[in-house]
Copies of this chain bind each other. A is one copy, B any other.
Amino acid sequence: MSSAIYQATCSAPVNIAVIKYWGKKDTTLILPTNDSLSVTLDQDHLRSVTTARADASFGAQDRLWLNGEEEAIKTDGRIRRCIDEMKKLREAKESKDANLPKLSGWAVHVCSENNFPTAAGLASSASGFAALISSLAALYELQPEVSSSELSRIARQGSGSACRSLFGGYVAWQGGEQPTGQDSLAVEVAPQSHWPDLQALICVVSDAKKGTPSTAGMQRTVQTSPLLQHRIKEVVPERMVKISEAIQKRDFDTFAEITMADSNNFHACCLDTAPPIFYMNDVSRAIVQLVEELNSANEAEGKGKLVAYTYDAGPNAVLYAPKANMPQILQTIRHYFHNADFDDTFDLLGKGVNASHRGAQEALGLPLSLPSSFNSNVIPVHEAGAVRRLIHTQVGDGPRVLERGAGKESLLNENGEPIRLQRAKRA
């Protein structure tokens, strides 16, 4: 038994799909009914961080803490499957090199935290499972022999869309054909550096009622929506090709057109479910109408689209736009949706990076300037709080190894227990 500490800490990003994943053909292996494509968002703003340690002293039991709370690792559960698959890869590596410590035989302690509050309305399962897989891959020193795509195949079994968070930039999840799921994995369409100019504005929309959970909802759609079958067979394959080309060409107009169409197509299939599934509410729809008006007024001036919306399984809008358009978009959103908490990650207000601003409409250094034919009555100015919070971010890179070994990034203390949990105990 070695006295060395075998540990790694990684961070992983959130991704927001522009071609949506909805429906599984295998719910255990998480094999999707169609391909999907996403943009990875910047970890400097939104991320999951995970520390994984293997130690012979941990006994037989793997343990996992999520945001300071221990989570049971259920036999046959998704976390179990991910850890087991990673141990198998380590075992294969160890079997080729007798000098390696036999980490695959030891229990692991895993501690994971998200830097974004639940209130942000963002699913944490994608970044969370990507950080889990990345930290175990770093702990087990699996890369570069094991590719990120191979890791994504395992992350997929934790949470489908997690496979896309194994890459930065523009990422496709190839649904695959094989019943084993061997070919169901993520691939990079283009790295962040190919088109770094794309920014995202997350509009967190207040919603009284919790919608249908996506896991249950998507299978109900598979079982009851006649339109979903058409989406799977005809609509998505063509869009995957076209949006990949648009990304290669940095063609924002086409990218925006397909992104908006696919968001609407996905929500149409939700509505076509029996009973119907509603994720977008009246505020979500008002944002759609505002964006469509902005775009059509800009197009009336012979220019392209300014911005694209997309909605996941909830009422929040994610707006994608080239960096240059963002001040205008922010001004417009803040005009129609007063009092939105604004995470000023790019310091547009000059009050310091990552400041959060609440309350009065603050100037963004630019007067509100709209395309000349813009119909300002397209939607009413909403009551304060209809959009609860704005998060401004951009396309980002893939998972990062923050630290190998146990240093200042570690979420585990010397005993392999969560630092946060320990602090809570002391308090």
Interface, chain A (partner B; CB < 8 A): 208-209, 224, 226-227, 229-231, 234-235, 257, 260-261, 264-265, 267-269, 271-276, 278, 281-282, 285, 288-289, 292, 296, 379-380
Contact = CB atoms under 8 A, between A and B. Distances in A.
A314 to B, nearest CB: 15
A268 B208 contact: no
Contacts of A234: 226, 230
Contact of A274 (B224, B230, B261, B380): B261
Contacts of A265: 226-227, 272
Given A208-B380, A281-B282, A292 B264 contact: no
Contacts of A224: 261
Contacts of A278: 285, 288-289
Nearest to A275: B292
A182 to B, nearest CB: 31
Which 3 residue pairs are nearest across A and B when measured between Cβ atoms? A230-B230, A268-B268, A268-B272
Nearest to A379: B209
The oligomer's copy count stands at 2
Contacts of A226: 230-231, 234-235, 265
Contacts of A288: 275-276, 278
Contacts of A269: 227, 268
A278 to B, nearest CB: 5
A380 B207 CA distance: 12
Contact of A268 (B227, B260, B289, B292): B227
A206 to B, nearest CB: 12
A114 to B, nearest CB: 29
Contacts of A274: 257, 260-261, 264
Given A230-B230, A260-B274, A264-B273, 5 more contacts: A209-B379, A224-B261, A226-B265, A268-B269, A275-B296
A269 B265 CA distance: 8
Contacts of A380: 208
Contacts of A292: 275-276
**A234, A261, A269: which has the most chain B beta carbons within 10 Å?**
A261
A229 B229 CA distance: 13
A264 B272 contact: yes
**A257, A260, A265, A296: which has the most chain B beta carbons within 10 Å?**
A265
A271 B276 contact: no
Contacts of A231: 226-227
A292 B275 CA distance: 7
**A208, A231, A268, A278: which has the most chain B beta carbons within 10 Å?**
A268
A289 B276 CA distance: 9
Contacts of A271: 264, 267-268, 271
Nearest to A260: B274
Contacts of A285: 278, 281
Contacts of A281: 282, 285
Contacts of A209: 379
Contacts of A261: 224, 272, 274
A427 to B, nearest CB: 36
Contacts of A230: 226-227, 229-230, 234
A275 B282 CA distance: 16
Contacts of A257: 274
**A267, A276, A285: which has the most chain B beta carbons within 10 Å?**
A276
Nearest to A295: B275
A278 B281 CA distance: 11
7 contacts: A227-B227, A229-B230, A271-B271, A275-B288, A275-B292, A276-B292, A282-B282
A282 B274 CA distance: 18
**A235, A264, A281, A289: which has the most chain B beta carbons within 10 Å?**
A264
A362 B379 CA distance: 36
**A231, A271, A282: which has the most chain B beta carbons within 10 Å?**
A271
Nearest to A208: B380
